[in-house]
Amino acid sequence: MSESLNGKGLALVPKAEGKQTLKDFKSDQEVRWCPGCGDYAILAAVQSFMPELGIKRENTVFVSGIGCSSRFPYYMNTYGFHSIHGRAPAIATGLAASRPDLSVWVITGDGDALSIGGNHLIHALRRNVNLNILLFNNRIYGLTKGQYSPTSEVGKITKSTPMGSLDKPFNPISLAVGAEAGFVARTIDSDRKHLHSVLREAAAHRGTSLVEIYQNCNIFNDNAFEDLKDPDKRDVITLRLEHGQPIANASQAVRIAPTGGLEVVARDSISPEEILVHDVHNPDPSLAFALSRLDEPAFQHVPIGIFRSVDRPSYDHLMSEQLEMAVAQRGPGDLDELLQGGDTWKIN
């Protein structure tokens, strides 16, 4: 039974009757991010994407934690829960595990997901509840006005680190693959078409999907991803990941290194057969992990796209199966029978 839901993340969510438009998903609340924030582009992309899913709007829930991005649910005309710092994956887990008829989306940021909520994130990923986690990574703390975040580069000068930050950042993709997430992808706020394509696959995946979205904070960390947007540089450093295609751009290519990992080399220095062909369904996470390490040192070459999409039964489904099995084996619960169970005696 679990098998049949593979790749059908929305199989249990009721379908919408009429055609939906972007407008249906806009709430009546005024959007209050800073002018120029990357969040606007992501919100517009998500609002314009949701009708494509064709599911009932009332069966869609956005859950968030705390941070700039976590205001997101207020702007979606769906059910929404703006919760507390770091806890959105836990709250969404309870909701999705008890309501398989819902499409549940978690909106989080690098501080929310990777710092205060790191524990919930890794456990959500290993547990594989049917959730879509959109991690807006701007590599800075915005809402608290500009402290370094767990994805900020070492040496980051901020208000809390006037001589530079000391701690090594997390790579969200490496972390997710390490936690054995079934679906891991990276996209960027400025590329709506790519964002849509990744969201489409994330929604279709039954289980926890993690999508890292590079998002520009123009107030506290402007141009953090500029090289990926600059027309002169982006094609050189971006490595588009597409299933079944060689991982390469016009100048660079990925191959298995003699040391066992992956390496990026000049495309014309190797034969086409040597270029690694991307397999998102590879059950062994080693290559996906190796791919996630290619942007070390940062932004020399950045894989964008789906790193891994591997099906395994989702937690909510397995949980429902146990409930059904219990009923099948012993019948539905009878309260009087339960209360009078065990060693009882009667007094007349």
Partner 1 sequence: MTKQVQQLDRVIIRFAGDSGDGMQLTGDRFTAETASFGNDLSTLPNFPAEIRAPAGTLPGVSSFQLHFADHDILTPGDAPNVLVAMNPAALKANLSDLPRGADIIANADEFTKRNLQKVGYDVNPLEDESLAEWRLHSVPLTSLTVKALEEFDISKKDAERAKNMFALGLLSWLYGRPVEATIKFIETKFAKKPEIAKSNVAAFNAGYNYGETTEAFSVSYEIKPAPLSAGVYRNISGNQALALGLVAASVQSKLPLFLGSYPITPASDILHELSKHKRFGIRTFQAEDEIAGVGAALGAAFGGALGVTTTSGPGVALKAETVGLAVTTELPLIVVDVQRAGPSTGMPTKTEQTDLLMALFGRNGESPVPVIAPATPSDCFDAAVEAARIAIKYRTPVMLLSDGYLANGSEPWKVPAQAELPDISVEFTTAPNGDDGTTFLPFKRDAETLARPWAIPGTPGLEHRIGGIEKADGTGNISYDPNNHDLMVRLRQAKIDGIDVPDLEVDDPDGDARVLVLGWGSTYGPIAAAARRVRRGGGKVAQAHLRHLNPFPKNIGEVLKSYDKVLLPEINLGQLALLLRAKFLVDIISYNRVRGLPFKAEELAGVIQEVIDSE
* Min dist. Cβ of residue 204 to partner 1 (A): 21
In the complex with partner 1, the residue whose CB is nearer, 75 or 307, is 75
Closer Cβ to partner 1, 179 or 288, answer by number:
179
Q: How far apart are CA 136 and CA 225, in angstroms?
A: 13
DSSP states of 202-257:
HHHSSS-EEEEEE--BTTTBTTTTHHHH-TTTHHHHEEEE-TTSBSB-SSEEEEE-
State whether residue 39 is helix, strand or coil.
Answer: helix
- For residues 123-143, one letter each, b for 16 or more C-beta atoms within 10 angstroms of the residue's C-beta and e for the rest, the string is ebbebbbbbbbbbbbbbbbbb
Q: Quick one: 96 or 113, whose CB is closer to partner 1? A: 96
Closer CB to partner 1, 191 or 316, in the complex? 316
Least CB distance from residue 7 to partner 1, whole Å? Answer: 24
Q: What is the DSSP letter of 116?
A: I
Q: How far is the CB of 43 from partner 1 (least distance, A)?
A: 14
Binding site for partner 1 (CB under 8 A): 14, 27, 29, 56-61, 63, 66, 73-74, 76-84, 87, 90-99, 101-102, 119-120, 123, 319, 322-323, 325-327, 329-333, 335-336, 338-348
Least distance in angstroms from the C-beta of 307 to partner 1: 24
Q: Minimal distance in Å, beta carbon 100 to partner 1?
A: 10
Its sign, for the CA torsion 281, 225, 217, 24, is negative
Q: State how far the Cα of 252 lies from the Cα of 176, in Å rounded to an integer.
A: 25
Nearer to partner 1, 144 or 161 (CB): 144
> Which lies closer to partner 1 via its Cβ, residue 297 or residue 331?
331
Cis omega before residue 297 (within 30°)?
A: yes
234, 261, 328, 346 from 337: Cα distances, Å: 68, 60, 17, 15
Tell me the closest approach of the beta carbon of residue 321 to partner 1, in angstroms.
Answer: 10
